[in-house]
Chains A and B, each alone.
Chain A
Amino acid sequence: MGTAIWWVLFFIAASLGTAVLGLLTRWVDRKVTARVQWRVGPPWYQPFADILKLLGKETILPEPAGWGFLLAPIVAFAATCVAAAIVVAANVRPEAGFVGDLIVVLYFLVVPSLMLVIGGSLSGNPHGAVGASREMKLLLAYELPLVLAVLAVVLGMSGGPTLRLGAIARAEMRGTLPAVASVLGFLIALFCVQAKMGLVPFDIAEAETEIMGGPLVEYSGAPLAMFYLTRAMLFALLPMFVVTVFWGGFGPHLRGWLLGAAKYLVVVGAMVLIRNTNPRVRIDHAMKFFWFGLTPTGFVAVALAVADLR
């Protein structure tokens, strides 16, 4: 009973922590973007003000939309919280995870995009429908390379393959070839994370200038705040996940946590700079890039990871 309460408290703390970190990261993103464009940019509390404002606004339910329209952001938020708790737990107490939590995290990370698809389809808006279909295509495009990249690390680590996130975070690669495989995997994952976040080269589904925010076009008030918060949490969670799987994770001691924070900032910085120096690609170009560019690279990474096995 005592451990159950401990885990519930841990879940709440991890979700809240990820939310706060994510909103601050969102500010870093907006501030750096502003500086790149030679502007001043918003103050640090801007994402918090946005959330508070949206929570206080009127919620409009379009006529064709049913209860699923309102449920979608809640499910997306809940799934992100669970994934955040598992990833944080894998870094705080690596020995406490369960076998296969890596697969659970990968599944839960799909849910926010899936809920965006469902919410956009239910909104009854043509822009929402187009955005939902693009989001779905993008999901089909980037999931396979991401799984292959993770697989390369799992197969290449010393001490045999395991699907426990805590073990993966602490593991080292067996030799040169698996190490190369993990670097390849890291690069692939960076692109997949960019697409998962819907950041600029792959913001095809939201595309404010052509389809008015895509799946979010009919959302207002509290449900929009939920999606906004989910997006912000993913901005913290996905770099954390990449650092955990591909770059040695956070911890265990103070030095490890400081190093982890530095790695996190490097990944976030890379995402923001990619976002600011690229134009939006077309959906078919994005799919070609992921299917015929990154997926074969992912297979090469897996092959390299198992090359030294006899």
Chain B
Amino acid sequence: MGLRLWGLKKSPWVYHVNVGACNNCDIEVVNCLAPQFDVERFGMVLVATPRHADALLVTGGCTRQARPRLQEVYRQAAKPCLVLCIGSCACSMGIFAGSYHMAGPVDEVIREVDPQAIVAYVPGCPPRPQAIISGAVKALQSL
């Protein structure tokens, strides 16, 4: 394992993108940062700009309004950059599948920009913080 990869695995900075979530998954994401789970133990820090990000935490099924914005955020992020779909909506549009305002699940929207994007799925409504951490670990192990 090269030093670059080691650094990437030990210090994943995450950028949180809400593309139409009901805020429940967002609360669980914030819960990961709080004392009970404290993802800074693994070097994960919430950053304020996609330029600094190593992983996009996407919550919510992608709405038509959010689709170009999500694609732009992914384009502007410094590569390599993982995508984590947090929650049932982000994974498969959940109960909103087939609605007029949905642009598609997050992975399809991202793959329109970058077919080789690494996408991890954390299902649940909302997923527990343990599940989010486990999903992040599995995504990092796939590198």
Contact = CB atoms under 8 A, between A and B. Distances in A.
Interface string A205-225: 000110011001111110010
Interface stretch (B21-29, B64-72, B75-83): B75-83
Nearest to A47: B11
Interface residues of B, number: 24
Interface stretch (A37-45, A76-84, A109-117, A247-255): A37-45
A57 B5 CA distance: 10
Given A60-B76, A224-B52, A34 B6 contact: no
A124 to B, nearest CB: 13
Contacts of A55: 4, 7
A217 B51 contact: yes
A130 B67 CA distance: 29
Given A57-B80, A58-B78, A58-B79, A52 B3 contact: yes
A60 B51 contact: yes
A63 B47 CA distance: 22
Contacts, number: 87
A174 interface: no
B40 A34 contact: yes
A46 interface: yes
Nearest to A217: B49
Contact of B8 (A39, A42, A56): A56
B21 to A, nearest CB: 20
Nearest to A206: B48
A212 B49 contact: yes
Interface in A255-304: none
Interface in A49-67: 49-60
A248 B40 CA distance: 37
A56 B78 CA distance: 10
A34 B38 contact: yes
Contacts of B49: 212-213, 217-218
Contacts of A212: 48-49
A125 to B, nearest CB: 9
A213 B51 CA distance: 11
B130 to A, nearest CB: 15
A46 B51 contact: no
B78 A213 contact: no
B79 A46 contact: no
Contacts of B52: 213, 216, 219-220, 224
21 contacts: A30-B40, A34-B38, A37-B35, A39-B38, A39-B40, A39-B41, A41-B40, A43-B41, A46-B43, A49-B6, A52-B6, A53-B11, A56-B7, A58-B78, A59-B78, A209-B48, A213-B48, A217-B48, A218-B49, A219-B51, A224-B52
Given A41-B41, A212-B49, 20 more contacts: A30-B40, A34-B40, A37-B35, A39-B34, A39-B38, A40-B38, A40-B41, A41-B40, A46-B43, A50-B43, A52-B3, A52-B4, A52-B6, A52-B11, A53-B54, A56-B4, A57-B79, A213-B52, A217-B49, A219-B52
Q: Which 5 A-B pairs have the closest CB atoms?
A: A52-B7, A53-B7, A56-B4, A49-B10, A220-B78
Interface of B: 3-8, 10-11, 34-35, 38, 40-41, 43, 47-49, 51-52, 54, 76, 78-80
